[in-house]
Amino acid sequence: MSDDLLKAHRDAIDAIDAEMLKMLNQRAEHARTIGEIKGGGVVYRPEREAQVLARIKQLNQGPLSDETAAKLFREVMSACLALERPLTIAYLGPEGTFSQAASIKHFGHAAHTQACASIDEAFRVVESGSADYVVAPVENSTEGAVGRTLDLMVTSPLHICGEVVLRIHHHLLRSQPGVAGILRVYSHAQSLSQCHEWLNKNLPSGVERISVSSNAEAARLAAREPNSAAIAGDAAAERFSLQRLAENIEDEPNNTTRFLVLGRQQTGPSGKDRTSLVISAPNRPGALHSLVEPLARNGVSMSKFESRPSRTGLWEYVFFVDIEGHASEPNVLAALDELRGVAAFVKVLGSYPQAVI
Ligand SMILES: O=C(O)C(=O)C[C@]1(C(=O)O)C=C[C@@H](O)C=C1
């Protein structure tokens, strides 16, 4: 390889970097002015962010992948938004959990993340105004619904303003190389069950499996006990400087968790939205059918229908329903009106842009 050729490409990169820096700062100036126009009002606009990211994916011609291009612009927007006002995002801690990874995926690295001891506490700090948004897990592709988040949404005054879909990769982590001498493996109960077959095949049967409150807590324990390992993700591995003895050990390769972003604001339409509802049926035959009918009649597609015992009465259920579209769209509006006529209880949890990255 010729040194001249290398130098020519590096000179070109230097020139592009200088140009990019200038343009990034011009973009940041516009964002700062937009912040002034908002005049102390809500700075985070999820519908606009979704449109910016979707446009970048559409414009992208490579060689960067659409996903990579969108992730870079996510960080650019995060930095621009922080000039308007830095946001604080509450999540189920400790540091290094998948909830923190989801918060950073959605809000970028310029947002502050605040670890909370429980999902309840994360909701509370946002309700009281001491944090701006909460990012809470709502369902996992192998384990199903996260009941606590669903229950909290029934009574919380917060609105859903976004969703984050995170691929969950689990690794076997330890403070030293090799599996020799491992006596116990720590992890959250869900992660232990998601890696059950791998553990059966790859670790001696005498290795104890101990469930702890979070994967990050598992990593913390493994970092100080030489004979212990943890199952956790990248964020926990980095946070506690652990080695990855085996990567992506989850039994189900498409393991994903969906998180919801909730705040005190309602979100405008982005053009590709979802609306989440909680409804309950009157206690009579055919009631369930009457809940679905208004949706079908107005051409509204349903992407989720999840039942959960109501906490207010014996044998009564509430249904968590996700539909396509924004509550301000005419067919969604009509379906919701009809639904209110037949259901015992309807609460719109929020309309929000579908995840773009
Ligand atoms: O368009 C806005 O309202 C902005 O504040 C700008 C911007 C951006 O950087 O593009 C930043 C934050 C908002 O959440 C949305 C977009």
Substitution candidate for ligand 1 out of 42, 44, 56, 80 with most atoms within 8 A of CB: 80
- The number of angstroms, rounded, from the C-alpha of 122 to the middle of its chain's C-alpha atoms is 14
Indicate whether residue 132 lines ligand 1 (CB < 6 A).
Answer: no
Quote the pLDDT of residue 289: 87
Q: Is the residue at 92 inside a domain? A: yes
Indicate whether residue 48 lines ligand 1 (CB < 6 A).
Answer: yes
Based on the fold, state whether residues 277 and 334 are members of the same structural domain: yes
Q: Is the residue at 76 inside a domain? A: no
Q: Is the residue at 291 inside a domain? A: yes
Closest atom of ligand 1 to CA, residue 38: 3
Closest atom of ligand 1 to CA, residue 30: 6
Quote the pLDDT of residue 153: 97
Based on the fold, state whether residues 285 and 240 are members of the same structural domain: no
Based on the fold, state whether residues 156 and 114 are members of the same structural domain: yes
Given 202, 235, 263, the domain boundary residue is 263
Min mean pLDDT across 64-68, 74-78, 88-92, 311-315 is at: 311-315
- The number of angstroms, rounded, from the C-alpha of 6 to the middle of its chain's C-alpha atoms is 41
Based on the fold, state whether residues 307 and 236 are members of the same structural domain: no
Say what the ipTM of the complex is.
0.99
Quote the pLDDT of residue 317: 84
Mean pLDDT of 173-187: 96
156 CA distance to ligand 1 middle (Å): 27
pLDDT class for 190, splitting at 50, 70, 90? confident
298 φ, ψ (degrees, to nearest 5) = -100, 15
pLDDT at 284 over 80: no
56 CA distance to ligand 1 middle (Å): 14
Substitution candidate for ligand 1 out of 30, 38, 45 with most atoms within 8 A of CB: 45
- The predicted-structure confidence for 47-79, as pLDDT tens digits, reads as follows 999 999 999 999 999 999 999 999 999 999 999
Q: Is the residue at 53 inside a domain? A: no
Quote the pLDDT of residue 2: 85
pLDDT at 309 over 90: no
Mean pLDDT of 309-316: 69
Q: Is the residue at 54 inside a domain? A: no
Quote the pLDDT of residue 253: 85
Higher pLDDT, 153 or 287: 153
Q: CATH no. for residue 145? A: 3.40.190.10
111 CA distance to ligand 1 middle (Å): 14
Min mean pLDDT across 174-183, 193-202, 220-229, 305-314 is at: 305-314
266 CA distance to ligand 1 middle (Å): 16
Based on the fold, state whether residues 175 and 164 are members of the same structural domain: no
pLDDT class for 344, splitting at 50, 70, 90? confident
Based on the fold, state whether residues 180 and 215 are members of the same structural domain: yes
Q: CATH no. for residue 303? A: 3.30.70.260
106 CA distance to ligand 1 middle (Å): 14
Q: Is the residue at 343 inside a domain? A: yes
Quote the pLDDT of residue 216: 93
Quote the pLDDT of residue 142: 83
Amino acid letter, residue 59? L
Based on the fold, state whether residues 113 and 154 are members of the same structural domain: yes
Based on the fold, state whether residues 162 and 91 are members of the same structural domain: yes
Q: Is the residue at 110 inside a domain? A: yes
Instruction: Record the pTM.
Output: 0.93
Query: Which residue's alpha carbon is nearest to atom 6 within ligand 1?
Result: 31
**What's the number of domains the chain is made of?**
3
pLDDT at 335 over 90: yes
* Separation CA 124–CA 136 (nearest Å): 12
Domain that holds residue 155: 86-168+256-263
Mean pLDDT of 260-279: 97
Three-state secondary structure of the chain? CCHHHHHHHHHHHHHHHHHHHHHHHHHHHHHHHHHHHHCCCCCCCHHHHHHHHHHHHHHCCCCCCHHHHHHHHHHHHHHHHHHHCCCEEEEECCCCCHHHHHHHHHHCCCCEEEEECCHHHHHHHHHCCCCCEEEEEEEECCCEECHHHHHHHHHCCCEEEEEEEEECCCEEEECCCCCCCCCEEEECHHHHHHCHHHHHHHCCCCCEEEECCCHHHHHHHHHHCCCEEEEECHHHHHHCCCEEEECCCCCCCCCEEEEEEEECCCCCCCCCEEEEEEEECCCCCCHHHHHHHHHHHCCCCEEEEEEEECCCCCCCEEEEEEEECCCCCHHHHHHHHHHHHHCCEEEEEEEEECCCC
Indicate whether residue 322 lines ligand 1 (CB < 6 A).
Answer: no
pLDDT at 314 over 60: no
pLDDT class for 1, splitting at 50, 70, 90? low
102 CA distance to ligand 1 middle (Å): 20
130 CA distance to ligand 1 middle (Å): 22
Indicate whether residue 84 lines ligand 1 (CB < 6 A).
Answer: yes
Instruction: Tell me the pairing of strands 133-140 and 256-263.
Output: antiparallel
Based on the fold, state whether residues 197 and 156 are members of the same structural domain: no
Indicate whether residue 87 lines ligand 1 (CB < 6 A).
Answer: no
Query: Which residue's alpha carbon is nearest to atom 8 within ligand 1?
Result: 77
Q: Is the residue at 61 inside a domain? A: no
Based on the fold, state whether residues 93 and 158 are members of the same structural domain: yes
- The predicted-structure confidence for 107-150, as pLDDT tens digits, reads as follows 999 999 999 999 999 999 999 999 999 999 999 998 889 999 99
